[in-house]
Chain A
Amino acid sequence: MSLANPGPIRRIDAVRRIGGGATVLAWILLTAAAPIRTTAAEAPEPSAKHWSFQPVVRPEVPATGKRTSHPVDAFVRDALRRERLDPSPEADRTTRIRRLYDVVLGLPPTPSEIEAFRRDRSPKAWENLVDRVLEDPRYGERWARHWLDVIRFAESNGFETNRERTGAWRFRDWVIQALNRDLPYDEFVRRQVAGDASGDDVATGFLVGGPWDIVKSPDPALTAQQRADELDDMVNTTGTAFLGLTLGCARCHNHKFDPVSQREYFSLTAVFAGVSQGERALPRSAAEEAAWKAAEAEVQSLESRLARYRTRPEADLPAVEARLNEDRFAPVATRRLRFTVLGTTGGEPCLDELEAWSGDRNVALASAGTKASASGTLPGYAIHQLAHINDGRTGNDRSWISNESGKGWVELEFPQEFRVDRVTWGRDREGRLGDRIATAYRIEVQGPDGAWSSVSDSARRRPRPGSGPAIPEYRFDGLAKAEAAEARATLTKLESAAKRRDALSKPPMAHAGTFSQPGKVHRQHRGDPLQPREQVVPATLEIFRPVVLEDSTPEQRRRVALAEWITRPDHPLTARVAVNRIWQQHFGVGLVDTSNDFGHNGSKPSHPELLDWLAAELVHPTVPDGGRTARPWSLKHLHRLILTSATWNQSSKPRPEARRVDAANRLLWRFEPRRLEAEAIRDGILAVAGTLDPTPGGPSFHLHDVDRENVYHYHPKERFGPAESRRMVYAFKVRMEQDGVFGAFDCPDGSLVAPRRSRSTTPLQALNLFNSRFLLDEAAHFADRLGREAGPDPKARIRLGWRLAYGREPDRAEMRDALGFVRDHGLPALCRAVLNSNEFLFIP
């Protein structure tokens, strides 16, 4: 791409010139070759000539003679040859299958799986094994954990309250399933940024996966700072995860290293400005809908059979809705009317307008002289003001929100006494938002004596789907015995039917964010939300074919436009960054070892041509997958390419002459052995001990005991049972507080993006693995299993233990040592040692 351009064009000008006027839904895709640049004074100095901003051009595969036909090997060997290094010989089959299971599935292979592969004489034995392993659903469980690190996913809010997000696990399952069904990577990206636009609602859990400071204050500076931090988290995570760019650096000033201006940063915040933290109800499937309707019908039929025993009249008003509700009552003369909210669908209640009618006249209007007061108003939002409650204008942008969760009141004082006969109210008459709905409420009027009396309340309402209504009260006293018995039996049936109906009626909730049309967004001087400067429009970055949107662009379209821009097949960063992450998880280090930073401050690739070849191959595959043409953006295609290379399959043994030249093995003269991550260690221990529960998906299990005070406290559990024996990716991911055994193994806590795990070695790890109740219990289970499966012969037990933990038979020295040790100290002690040993904990 060229830096030359005909003349500086301000972005707003560009919108005006090209897009023109105020076309509400217009958004403009600028495909001109030259990026729009800002004025010279504003332009960032760093150059767009950096390697990673250049288009991906598929390089020629180097000619390596007859030595290899595999493109990956050709590039790797070409680089080795330049340093006069040879690759290592192929590793033995046991090592390869263990490595394959460790890397791809995060679990050890069983002895029979190893044996089957060792005996497989087919020339395609390895390819077939790779295919089978890539179709294993445990692949998604393994690789999702990496993606969840990259995008700072966790299931608690962080900060001091650190409350749980009960609907966050759905996103974790979404990632696992997306990887397992090999959702093309471009679609994988698009869904996470704007899945709500394509009916994949859970996927936007990505946007709001970060920390959330829920401590609210009337202090507007604090509120503004909290919101700015939330948006920064979204921009920064999007930038690092998909583009390998540290956009957060441009929050306070133009990026020091990369061509990203502060204004571009705020244009990206404008893309996300309508995204808020929180849960969203998911649409129910047709089957779920039908089941719920059937249950509802049963409830109604049972209720009608009991109707005559009811102690109070039936609900006469429909269920509360988000848009508009009407409460009619006998006309009453009053000067004051109060609407009190006693419960909501979640959060602080919102009312966009409160109307009190005297005949056909709305006497609540401020313009008619009515004064409004309230229990309190959510601070910091211009669009949520008390004055909006009776300004005659509706919609979220002209609404009032209480400052208290689940409650609050608004009072209207009329200029004179009116005979009021109905009240109309709603949360968002424009129908865009459906949260914060008042579900329990009371409407009261003040009589001439000053006393308040209720004229309507939510008891008159039929239950909202999902709100779990109470069963009406019935009285059976004074009935004949038989009739009373039958009525009671019917009531019992009703109770269980209602319970079933309630369970079915609850829409599944996902922590996937809520969306609303944002107001204007401004650049913030020095990143200070209290120092707004010029307005910015939503836009993508300028390094590559920028998309500039209008200020009026609907919220969802902003994210769709960004997602489409990120996933353009010719985007120079997206495929390179994706390919590099996959490479990193195979070899321990990426071709670019700063996998979240492809900018000027990041490292250069160790094999630039290989990186580009793989990036091109991801987007436009040419190498067939087992006879078929591979699909574009298929990650499994990439895995298959890497896994079938000699580079991946080579021995991990060190060679002094190679180490002298390249100790860090960046040129890949061997496969680099490395310690497994925390999750793979825990899973592997359970698998070997025979206690792993393979159940996939669903709500998380807890590694902590949780005190749910105002502020949540998490105490690591000491003892674990079957409930905690699923794979660790299914453990409830708490911010800050780590698991008592495996947290010390460099588990990121989801507070920040974690592109690559450090692999430190500490005495606390040793203490946890050697002394924890968890390890000792599993060592005991392991020993039991050996006794059960190998019979009484100590040698047979030891042999099976070695096969399970190491995938091989013990050699003579080991057998002698182990036999003596078991004789003196027992099998569980041996299992304790084996589960702590390097050979068990390292990818071979």
Chain B
Amino acid sequence: MSANNLRNGLLDRRRFLGDAGLGLGAIALTHLLSRQGLLGASVGGMEPIRPSIDPGRPYAPRTPHFAPKAKNVLVIFCSGACSQLDTFDFKPELIRRHGQPMPGAGKLITFQGEQGALTRSPWEFRPRGQSGKMVSDLLPHLGALADDLCFLHGMKGKTNTHGPGENFMSTGSTLDGFPSLGAWLTYALGSEDQSLPSYVAIPDPRGKPQNSVNNWSPGFLPAAYQGTEFNATTPIRNLARPDGITADMDAATRAFLRRQNERHAQAFPGDSQLAARISSYELAARMQLTVPEVADLAGEPEHILRLYGANESGSKIQDLRAAYARNCILARRLVERGVRFVQLFNGAYQTGGEGVSNWDGHKDLLNQYSVHGPVLDKPTAGLLIDLKQRGLLEETLVVWCTEFGRMPTFQKGSQGRDHNPDGFTCWLAGAGVKAGFTYGATDEFGHKAVQEVTTVYDLHATILHLLGLDHERLTFYHNGLERRLTDVHGEVIRPILAR
């Protein structure tokens, strides 16, 4: 904004909103601070890249550090710790030694205590697709897509407790209060679509995940970068025009508010905070139109509903599956509209007992997973197929994850598996990663990651890399440190990158 404009009294509104705070202010600020040496130091010799953000336009698209392979990310998070041994990590030795004690596990104490015998999965594994990847009968629809998936079997976590585990996977720290992956991405890249939130978290139909909103927290980043929470049944809070307010009155009030704010802003030419608040009401008004439209699945044709299993009902599993399937369709619609980061949850906080509402199969794995498997399988597979047939997988990175794995033994005196952060499986699909590829392995029983071991930091570094971001240089100054998503860890998992 030029000084001339500033002196001209009431400005053309669009220009005022468009360029307030740009240019002059930001440049002068940097200049004075650097001249006086008042800016914080760099990170270990490497210059941090802090995106330059105009407070008036926090969601403006920003350029990545280098050419990206993916534009959007869709994370599918199975809350409760989904067992690798009953899904994707096939271990013949576990079948052979079924019922025997696990060598060296005599004194092993895991989260809930002592170990029983090695226990094979109740579900058979079969070769799938061209690649012949072994996937269990628990997830036949996802198994059928094995040729599109890139498996990480050597994942290793840091904690065996759900809350810290979800934090770790979603924010890179086991503690509460750190920014989530999606917040970092939105902070770094802004949004393609200015009329939708750039970061959407879709909780499971049964409720929020175990560490709740911390999974999509802005942490110490500005609140602008938090995930906006809604799903196919629960809309964004306060999005709708309130009851008792007519559309006319609503528009008139908005207009009056704008006039009042502009009269006030005349005395403060160029104050970007004031301009930002004015424009935030306009963005809110646009969201009021676009979000219900994107969340309205009524226009989805029958064959699409069928693909996801969204039109089934009757049994408990079918009802639940249909509800999750509608969330999957919503996820696709958001990705289609260019939402930068979509976080889709399967599994909710613990309610009704351990492992009932999520993948925490300590005591009754067979019966509980017999619900969770079918609920996850068809809709998630439908989502992948749909993304692919629309060409969206070419620019979208899909990440399937869970907070940690489970033990190859059953717990002593119990019919389920205890927590196991030492080896678990995640998979990726879509933009920038190899398809039909497997990287990393656990030991012969599926207990510990032993080969091509990858950490949550590595996974995060890889996701940032695919979005064109250097995880070592994307920083935000907080409380004495140039903070990174990956702390001081993480390496891009180069062998899984597509050429």
Contacts and interface: CB of A to CB of B under 8 A. Distances in A.
Contact of B237 (A225, A753, A768): A768
Interface stretch (A30-38, A266-274, A560-568, A708-716): A708-716
A656 B3 CA distance: 7
B252 A597 contact: no
Contact of B280 (A246, A257, A710, A766): A766
Interface in A195-231: 211, 213, 215, 217-220, 222, 225, 229
Given A219-B160, A597-B480, A762-B280, A746 B260 contact: no
Contacts of A773: 242
Interface in B2-58: 3, 6-7, 24-29, 32-33, 36-41, 44, 55-56, 58
A832 interface: yes
Contacts of A666: 32-33, 38
Interface string B225-255: 0101000000011111110110011001110
A159 B287 contact: no
B222 A758 contact: yes
Contact of B239 (A596, A736, A771): A771
Interface of B: 3, 6-7, 24-29, 32-33, 36-41, 44, 55-56, 58, 109-113, 159-164, 166, 174-178, 197, 207-208, 210-214, 217, 219-224, 226, 228, 236-242, 244-245, 248-249, 252-254, 256-257, 259-261, 263-265, 267-271, 273-274, 276-278, 280-281, 283-284, 287-288, 349-351, 477, 479-482
A760 interface: yes
Interface in A621-656: 652-654, 656
A751 B173 CA distance: 12
A745 interface: yes
16 contacts: A159-B164, A257-B41, A596-B480, A601-B40, A656-B270, A663-B32, A666-B38, A667-B32, A749-B176, A749-B217, A762-B58, A764-B226, A765-B223, A771-B239, A833-B256, A839-B264
B222 A753 contact: no
Given A659-B28, A673-B271, A842-B273, 9 more contacts: A240-B480, A653-B268, A654-B271, A660-B28, A710-B350, A761-B56, A762-B224, A776-B244, A829-B245
A772 B163 CA distance: 31
B479 A753 contact: yes
Contact of A736 (B38, B213, B277, B350): B213
A752 B211 contact: no
A284 interface: no
A675 B177 contact: no
B237 A211 contact: no
Q: Which of A220, A752, A818, A838 has the most CB of B within 10 A?
A: A838
B161 A767 contact: no
B249 A829 contact: yes
A158 B110 CA distance: 23
7 nearest interchain CB pairs? A751-B177, A246-B480, A160-B163, A597-B480, A760-B222, A751-B176, A752-B177
Contacts of B197: 763-764
A218 B242 CA distance: 51
B223 A161 contact: no
Contacts of B261: 837-839
Q: Which of B208, B259, B260, B267 has the most CB of A within 10 A?
A: B260
Interface string A152-171: 00000011111000000000
A510 interface: no
B32 A656 contact: no
Contact of B163 (A159, A825, A826): A159
Nearest to B265: A838
A664 B480 contact: no
Interface stretch (A137-145, A546-554, A602-610): A602-610
A838 B481 contact: no
Contacts of B28: 659-664
Contacts of A689: none
Contacts of A225: 159
Given A759-B273, A829-B249, A766 B480 contact: no
Contacts of A758: 220-223
B40 A594 contact: yes
A767 B287 contact: yes
A593 B36 CA distance: 13
Contacts of A728: none
A771 B240 contact: yes
Contacts of B163: 158-161, 213, 215
B149 to A, nearest CB: 29
B283 A766 contact: yes
A255 B15 CA distance: 48
Interface residues of A, number: 103
Nearest to B283: A763
Contacts of B221: 758
Contact of B32 (A664, A767, A776): A664
Q: Which of A249, A762, A771, A825 has the most CB of B within 10 A?
A: A762
Contacts of B350: 160, 709-711
Contacts of A746: 222-223
A287 interface: no
A664 to B, nearest CB: 4
Nearest to A252: B488
Contacts of A159: 161, 163-164, 176, 211
Given A594-B40, A654-B270, A160 B253 contact: no
A738 interface: yes
B480 A601 contact: yes
Q: Which of B112, B164, B480 has the most CB of A within 10 A?
A: B480
A741 B238 contact: yes
B480 A829 contact: no
B25 A217 contact: no
Given A218-B109, A763-B284, A211 B175 contact: yes
A744 B17 CA distance: 22
A599 interface: yes
Nearest to A258: B480
B277 A824 contact: no
B24 A674 contact: no
A194 to B, nearest CB: 25
A836 interface: yes
A616 B24 CA distance: 38
Nearest to B222: A760
Interface string A726-765: 0000000001111011001110010111110011111111
Nearest to B254: A770
Given A159-B176, A673-B268, A833 B212 contact: no
Q: Which of B41, B175, B208 has the most CB of A within 10 A?
A: B175
Contacts of B162: 160, 215
B480 A842 contact: no
Given A597-B480, A662-B28, A761-B55, A213 B207 contact: no
A451 interface: no
Contacts of A596: 479-480
A41 interface: no
Nearest to B262: A838
B263 A709 contact: no
Interface string A820-837: 010011100110111011
A233 to B, nearest CB: 9
Contacts of A762: 58, 223-224, 280
Contacts of B176: 158-159, 211, 735-736, 749, 751-752
Nearest to B286: A763
A817 interface: yes
Contacts of A749: 176-177, 217
Contact of A160 (B112, B175, B211, B270): B211
A600 B261 CA distance: 42
Interface in A160-185: 160-162
Interface in A753-810: 753-755, 758-768, 770-773, 776
Contact of B212 (A736, A761, A838): A736
Nearest to A753: B479
A609 to B, nearest CB: 14
